[in-house]
């Protein structure tokens, strides 16, 4: 038998320990400020125009102007004259027939009232006053004012906690030779 050398090997073993890195990110909210001033608004309402025509009412009340009153009187004078003339002719015919039994007292006795005069006033009516109204639309002027917007952003806040990696040797590699037992007897 031949002597043999015994070789024993031991591999190297590496150990690792690690922890995760941590990142913490915070982002504060931005600040936004909006100012919206009121629009400049101007409104004006012109007064309506009103005209009151009461000329016909004054004509019914007092005959109107002197010229209108005279026209009314003179336009009815021929008719009034003819009525008066007809009355006098009839009275004259009654006096002419006095022999038939009419007396002067009977002819002129009933004539104690005054003869009617021309009505120089216009007829009275609820419609004698005319009212005219001219309304006006309101005048509206609006000047728009833009809103004032201001914003402020905040940078993110980042905190990093680094992880670690630890590599170490748990077992070193080794080779061991074990020689055979040799008997040296010679």
Distance CA 106, CA 83 (A): 20
Do residues 147 and 99 lie in contact, with contact meaning Cβ atoms separated by under 8 Å? no
In tens digits, the chain (186 residues) has pLDDT values of 577 888 889 999 999 999 888 999 998 898 999 998 888 899 999 999 999 998 888 888 888 888 888 888 888 888 888 888 888 888 888 888 877 777 777 777 777 667 677 777 888 888 889 999 999 999 999 998 888 999 999 898 999 998 888 999 999 999 988 888 776 665
pTM for the full model?
A: 0.38
Tell me the two tokens of residue 161.
């906690």
Tell me the two tokens of residue 96.
């002419």
Half-sphere exposure of 77 (CA within 13 A, CB side): 7
């Amino acid at each position: 038998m031949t002597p043999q050398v015994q070789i024993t090997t031991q591999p190297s073993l590496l150990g690792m320990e690690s922890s995760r890195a941590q990142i913490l990110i915070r982002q504060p909210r931005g600040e936004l400020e909006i100012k919206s001033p009121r629009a400049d608004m101007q409104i004006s309402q012109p007064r309506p125009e009103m005209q009151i025509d009461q000329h016909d009412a004054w004509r019914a009340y007092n005959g109107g102007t002197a010229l209108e009153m005279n026209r009314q009187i003179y336009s009815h004078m021929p008719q009034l004259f003819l009525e008066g003339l007809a009355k006098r002719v009839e009275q004259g015919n009654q006096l002419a027939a006095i022999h038939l039994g009419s007396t002067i007292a009977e002819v002129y006795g009933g004539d104690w009232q005054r003869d009617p005069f021309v009505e120089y006033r216009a007829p009275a009516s609820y419609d004698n006053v005319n009212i005219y109204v001219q309304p006006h639309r309101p005048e509206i002027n609006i000047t728009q004012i833009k809103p004032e917007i201001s914003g402020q952003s905040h940078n993110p806040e980042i905190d990093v906690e680094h992880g670690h990696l630890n590599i170490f040797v748990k077992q070193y590699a080794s080779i061991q030779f074990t020689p055979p037992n040799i008997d040296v007897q010679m």
